[in-house]
């Protein structure tokens, strides 16, 4: 909580985007999270990403479940659509919304509790359906709202605030997503916006289910010595694999290719994701290699970050279901629901 609302004043040299909006036009209500929460930083990165992509706020839909992370949809883009669902059920609600209106840009915000415990099954099936959305998993390794119990993503040996080590094996959302066939898998850190923002932009542009696991420290219950999800531990054990530059289609590509740039992937809309500082041994379009790489580093206690895997040739939920191009919500009622006669005619075909 803060004592005041954010004053409606801005810096005279604050930049505008193609829509004439400033970053401040993408903000939402004041955060009620703890001061220093990683989630607030992720929120700011999301604001920046939407601002830089020139997305009109009213063309986006913010989906969430329950938890500290799920509260944050209130803290950005106050003019967007949104749905705050039952705990862990956001993927289903997002699938439904996307089925009805494929023209909106969907962003789901979830946490390690919402996604990896109560909503694990929901997450798995949304990945399988390849719902066209960006799924941000704000991962802090604890249940913050219930005062700091270990969550399903807590590492073995990581200590609670009172000094108890965790003994259960964690679920790694990156490995989970890779094994389930996710078409865009990345990991970021709330304390590194310079890398997180391009990743979010690529994820928003990706056609299909894009999941970004964001290490987002819980400053109240999991930022102490012995924690493996603290600001300090994450910075010290950060192994950046694949930082990306996001080059939107609209802008002319004039920048020279930086040394070390070995791979670039063209997104479905023609935008380009460039991988920086990727060794020749790494291919971000090779799922098995990505899995092996993350696994190897995990064994050494290193946190691999970056855009780890991308498949731009995939079919999303609408392709699989052969739905019409036009969003269902825009179809005239008569064609969406052709009536009893049409139904009986259809039934007759199967008799």
Partner 1 sequence: MPTDVSNPQYYHKVVDCQWACPAHTNVPEYIRLIAQGRYTESYLLNRESNVFPGILGRTCDRPCEPACRRGRVDGKPVAICRLKRVAADLRDDIHEFLPAIPAQKNGKRVALVGAGPASLTVANDLMPLGYEVVIYEKHQRAGGLMRVNIPSFRLPAEVLDEETQIILDMGVDIRYETPVTSMAALLSDGYDAVFVGSGAPKGKELELPGRHETDQVFIGIEWLANVHFGHVDRIGERVLIIGVGNTAMDCCRTSRRLGGKDIKVIARRSRPYFKASPWELEDAEEEGVQIVENHSPKRFVLEKGKLVGMEMDRLRWVEQNGKQKSEILETVLLPCDSVILAIGQENSFPWIERDTGVGFDDENMPIVDKKTFASTRAGVFFGGDAAWGPENIIWAVEHGHQAAISIHNHCMGIPLDERPAYGMNLVSAKVGMHSWSYSNDYSPAPRMKMTHAELTKRFSKLSVEVELGFTLEQTVAEVERCLNCDIETHFTSNLCIECDACVDVCPVSCLTIAPDGPEPDLRTRLSAPALNLTQDVYVSAALPQTKRVMVKDEDVCLHCGLCAERCPTAAWDMRQFDLLVPYAGRRLPIATLPSGHVDRPVSAA
List contacts with partner 1 (CB under 8 A).
1-15, 23-24, 31, 34-38, 40-41, 43-44, 190-191, 193, 217, 219, 223, 231-232, 235
Least distance from partner 1 to the Cβ atom of residue 257, Å: 23
Nearer to partner 1, 207 or 229 (CB): 229
Least distance from partner 1 to the Cβ atom of residue 349, Å: 58
Smallest Cα–Cα separation from 148: which of 140, 137, 136? Answer: 140
Nearer to partner 1, 23 or 102 (CB): 23
Nearer to partner 1, 83 or 238 (CB): 238
Least distance from partner 1 to the Cβ atom of residue 141, Å: 16
Place of tokens 């090779």: 286
Nearer to partner 1, 31 or 98 (CB): 31
Place of tokens 């992720």: 42
Least distance from partner 1 to the Cβ atom of residue 172, Å: 24
Least distance from partner 1 to the Cβ atom of residue 232, Å: 6
Q: Count Cβ atoms within 10 A of the Cβ of residue 341 and give its class: 0-12 exposed, 13-18 middle, 19 or more buried.
A: exposed
Nearer to partner 1, 191 or 327 (CB): 191
Dihedral, CA atoms, 47, 104, 272, 319, nearest 10 degrees?
150
Least distance from partner 1 to the Cβ atom of residue 128, Å: 35
Here the tokens at position 264 are: 């670039």
- Tell me how far apart the alpha carbons of residues 82 and 74 are, in angstroms, rounded to a whole number: 9
Nearer to partner 1, 219 or 290 (CB): 219
Least distance from partner 1 to the Cβ atom of residue 195, Å: 13
Nearer to partner 1, 40 or 132 (CB): 40
């Amino acid at each position: 909580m803060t004592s005041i609302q954010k004053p409606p004043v801005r810096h005279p040299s604050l930049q505008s985007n193609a829509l004439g909006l400033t970053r401040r036009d993408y903000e939402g209500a004041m955060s009620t999270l703890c001061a220093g929460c990683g989630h607030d930083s992720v929120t700011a990165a999301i604001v920046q990403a939407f601002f830089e992509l020139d997305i009109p706020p009213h063309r986006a839909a913010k989906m969430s479940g329950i938890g500290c992370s799920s509260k944050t949809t209130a803290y950005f883009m106050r003019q967007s659509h949104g749905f705050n669902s039952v705990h862990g059920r956001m993927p289903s609600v997002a699938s439904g919304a996307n089925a009805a209106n494929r023209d909106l840009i969907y962003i789901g915000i979830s946490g390690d509790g919402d996604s990896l415990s109560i909503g694990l099954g929901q997450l798995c099936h949304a990945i399988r359906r390849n719902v066209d959305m960006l799924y941000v998993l704000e991962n802090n390794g604890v249940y913050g709202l219930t005062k700091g119990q270990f969550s399903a993503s807590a590492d073995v040996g990581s200590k609670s605030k009172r000094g108890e080590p965790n003994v259960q094996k964690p679920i790694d959302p990156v490995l989970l997503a890779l094994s389930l066939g996710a078409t865009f898998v990345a990991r970021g850190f709330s304390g590194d916006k310079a890398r997180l923002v391009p990743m979010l932009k690529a994820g928003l542009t990706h056609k299909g289910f894009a999941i970004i696991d964001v290490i987002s420290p819980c400053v109240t219950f999991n930022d102490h010595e012995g924690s493996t999800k603290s600001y300090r531990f994450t910075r010290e054990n950060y192994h950046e694999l694949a930082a990306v530059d996001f080059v939107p289609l609209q802008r002319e590509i004039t920048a020279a290719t930086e040394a070390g740039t070995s791979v670039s992937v063209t997104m479905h809309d023609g935008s380009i994701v460039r991988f920086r500082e990727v060794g020749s041994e790494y291919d971000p379009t090779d799922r098995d290699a990505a899995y092996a790489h993350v696994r190897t580093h995990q064994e050494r206690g290193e946190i691999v970050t970056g855009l780890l895997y991308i498949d731009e040739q995939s079919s999303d939920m609408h392709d699989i279901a052969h739905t019409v191009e036009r969003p269902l919500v825009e179809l005239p009622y008569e064609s969406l629901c052709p009536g009893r006669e049409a139904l009986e005619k259809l039934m007759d075909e199967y008799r």
